Structures are given as C-alpha cells and as structure tokens.
Amino acid sequence: MHERDVELFDAIAGALTATDVERALEAALREIVHALDLATGWIWLLDPETDQFYLAAAHDLPPYLREPVQMTGDPCWCMESFVDGDFDSKNVDIIACSRLRRGAREGGEALTLGLQSHASVVLRFGERRLGIMNVSPQIPRKLSEKDLRLLSVTGAQIGLAVERGRLAEEEANAARTAERTRLAREIHDTLAQDLTAIALQLESALRDVPRDSPAAQRITTALDVARASMAQARASVLSLRSDPLAGRALPGALAALARRLTSETGMRVTLHERGATSLPYEVEGELFRIASEALANARLHAKASRIEIELIGEDDAVALRIRDDGIGFDPSAQDGERYGLRGMDERARLAGGRFRVESTGATGTLIETIVPAVRP
C-alpha cells in the first residue's frame, strides 16, 4: 500500500473519533480532498426519520453550490442513481452533476469553477446505504482507478462512523422512551391510585363528623390537598405520554430538527453538544420550542447560509445557543414581528432560566437560553 494511502487512512480514522458526527465528517472530507488533490467534496446523508437527503458536510464548494438554495435535498442525478440502485454493482461511479451543470448555464464557469461532474461514493454499513460522498478533481485532472478504489475504502470508513453515531442516538432515544413509559405507568398505578384511595377515605370520614367541627375543617383541607395532588399526577402522566420531543432526548430532537431544516432549505444547520445536558422533561420541552421558533425565524428572515446549534452543559447550568451568519436585525425595535422573541423569553422564564439576543448585520444573530442544571 502506498505511504500516502496509509497516511490518509490514519488521518480519517483520527478525524472520525470525534463524538460530534458533523464535525467528524467535515474533518474526514477535508483530509480526503487534500490527500487526493481534489477541487471540492460534499456529503449527502439520508435522514433516518424523513428518508430525505440533507447536506451533512462540505469542503471548498464552488460559488454556485455555496448558495443554500442550491443544496437542498431536492433530487439530483446522483440521488436518483442512489434511489434507483445504480450504485449496487460498484461503490464508486463518475456522474454528471445536474446542480453544477445548471450553475454553468446560469452563471458560466466562474460560478462552477468549470466543474460539471464528480465521483460518487455510496456510504454504507453492510447492506445498509446511508448516503453519498461526492468529490470532484481539479480541472483537467482525472481520477485514476487507484484513486477510485481509495475513495471506496474511505467511504466504508465514513459509513461506519455515521452508523455508529446513529446507533448511539437511537439507543439514547429508546432509553428515554422506556424511562418515560415506566414513570407514567408507576405514577398511574401507584401514586394516582393511592391518592384516589386517600380521597375516598377522607370523604367517608367527613360524613362521620359534624360539619362545623375543627376535625371537619382539617379533613376538608386534607381532602383538597389530595384532590389537587391527584390532578397533578394525572397531568404528569399526560405530559409524559404527550412528549413534544417525540420520545427523544433533547439533543436527538434538536439534531432531527437541524437535519430537516438543512434538507428543506440548504442552510447548513448543525448541532454541537458538550457536557452533561440532562434536564427535567418540562425544561427540555421549553428549550426545544425555543429552538424551533429561533430556527423558524432564521429561515424566514435571516438569509443565512449556516446555523450552529450549541447545547452546552456546565457546572450549574445548561446553555442553548443558536447562532446564524445572516443579515441580523435590531433586537430593540418594537414592532409586530417581535412576538416570537417575546414568546421565547417567556418560555425561558417558565423553565427557570434567562434569555438574551445579540444581532448585528456584520455577525448575524445569537439567541441564547441558559437554564439551571439538574444537581445530582
């Protein structure tokens, strides 16, 4: 094996050890582009929930493909080949790029750097097809058979990393769903039923004492407390069974939200998690709604190409930060379009946290919510 190949495999292996799958893919793709002297590369992955393609990583895209609207999950020739099974007989193929050819028609070679085709590598784990890695060589260089074989092997490395990340997310979601189901069942079968029995006993005792006696007053107070606790228990069961996060932990729900927005708009939306971020489910629900509103606002108004979601666990707090590279706005302006900001602020307060917004035309917008961490 050529020394260059060994160095590339080692570099990719090192890049893919990162726990953040998106950053790992970016680093691995960068290593491949540099080692093979390529012009550009990008990775499409299939969202396991929607079965739609989304842009998971990119390196040195030509100007035309840097426009988010050009990189939505709308079908193109390589995706159609993937879906039709044309990649099944071999793992690498040279495909004309419908996006690049459209760019050349609309803006000439300046927008596409003269690129019109790419090598497409199916990312697999066993028989499971996970996505596509596309790479284009420098003009007029052609990819050799050796380069194509090398890309096939690196595609297998990347496919393994993608599958590993997805399995970890699925395990976390399954554990969370099982725990929520267990809690709902235990509250219903024990606490709620015990409170019902207590209330029935208190009602019976109240009939046996004079209505105007001190004992009757104390029993009435106890009965009111029991009934209020019963209502809270029932509300807790309903909340556990009607989860806005659809049974997922907050990081998994945010990652799914990011994938969907990336596929629909072409904006690169990525999630970065660090530290312990476990929170009560009510707080997670409020943070998820804040993130949903922030991303909806960015989609409508920001004209951004990239959005970073950070979920950071610190010693005594958990921070949710959503940062875009868009046109910004004046947060102090009071007009009819600020209802979303007020709603996010109210949700942060409901969760016991604080909310702030920073926005300028030069740096885009940062929306931050910080809530108290759960103490062990």
Please tell me whether residue 82 adopts helix, strand or coil conformation: helix
Tell me which of 189-198, 221-230, 286-295 is least confident: 189-198
Q: Please state the separation of Cα 153 from the chain's center in Å.
A: 28
What is the architecture, at CATH level 2, of domain 3-169? 2-Layer Sandwich (3.30)
Residue 52 to residues 47, 73, 197, 306, Cα–Cα distance (Å): 5, 6, 51, 19
Amino acid at 279: L
* Lowest mean pLDDT across 32-36, 187-191, 330-334, 343-347: 187-191
Q: Over range 271-292, report the average pLDDT.
A: 87
What pLDDT, on the 0 to 100 scale, is given for residue 177?
A: 64
DSSP 329-341: --TT--SGGGHHH
Phi/psi at 267 (nearest 5 deg)?
A: -65, 135
- Average pLDDT over the chain, rounded to whole? 84
* Domain layout of the chain by residue ranges: 3-169, 179-241, 250-372
Inform me whether the pLDDT recorded for 357 exceeds 90: yes
- Bridge partner residues of 128 (DSSP): 125
The residue behind tokens 């990393």 is: 161
The Cβ-side half-sphere exposure at 366, using a 13 Å CA radius, reads 12
Give the list of residues 6+ apart from residue 206 with CB closer than 8 angstroms, or none: 216, 219, 220, 223
Q: How far is Cα 371 from Cα 349, in angstroms, rounded to an integer? A: 9
Q: Is the pLDDT of residue 306 over 60?
A: yes
Higher confidence at residue 196 or residue 172?
Answer: 196
Looking at per-residue pLDDT, the higher value among 310 and 174 belongs to: 310
- Containing 59, the helix (H) or strand (E) segment is strand 53-59
Q: Which helix (H) or strand (E) holds 313?
A: strand 306-313
pLDDT at position 113? 92
% of the chain beyond a pLDDT of 70 = 86
pLDDT of residue 235: 62
293 vs 167, higher pLDDT: 293
pLDDT given at position 179: 62
Dihedral in degrees, nearest 10, Cα atoms 146, 148, 153, 157: 140
Distance between CA atoms of residues 151 and 119, nearest Å: 9
Residue 26 CA to residue 262 CA, distance in Å, equals 15
Per-residue pLDDT at 176 exceeds 70: no
Query: Which range, 10-24, 65-79, 247-261, is most confident?
Result: 65-79
Please give the pLDDT value at position 236: 61
Compare 188 and 200 and report the one with higher pLDDT: 200
Give yes or no for residue 89 having a pLDDT over 50.
Answer: no
Q: Is the pLDDT of residue 96 over 70?
A: yes
Range of lowest pLDDT (91-100, 167-176, 199-208, 296-305): 167-176
Indicate the DSSP class of residue 142: -
Span 236-264, mean pLDDT?
77
294 has pLDDT over 90: yes
What's residue 64's pLDDT? 95
Spatial CA neighbour of 311 closest among 264, 359, 258: 258
| Cβ contact 373:276 at 8 Å | yes
CATH architecture type of domain 250-372: 2-Layer Sandwich (3.30)
110-119: average pLDDT: 92
pLDDT digit string (tens) for 194-247? 777 787 888 888 787 887 888 888 888 887 887 887 777 666 655 555 566 766
In this predicted model, which residue has the larger pLDDT, 39 or 3? Answer: 39
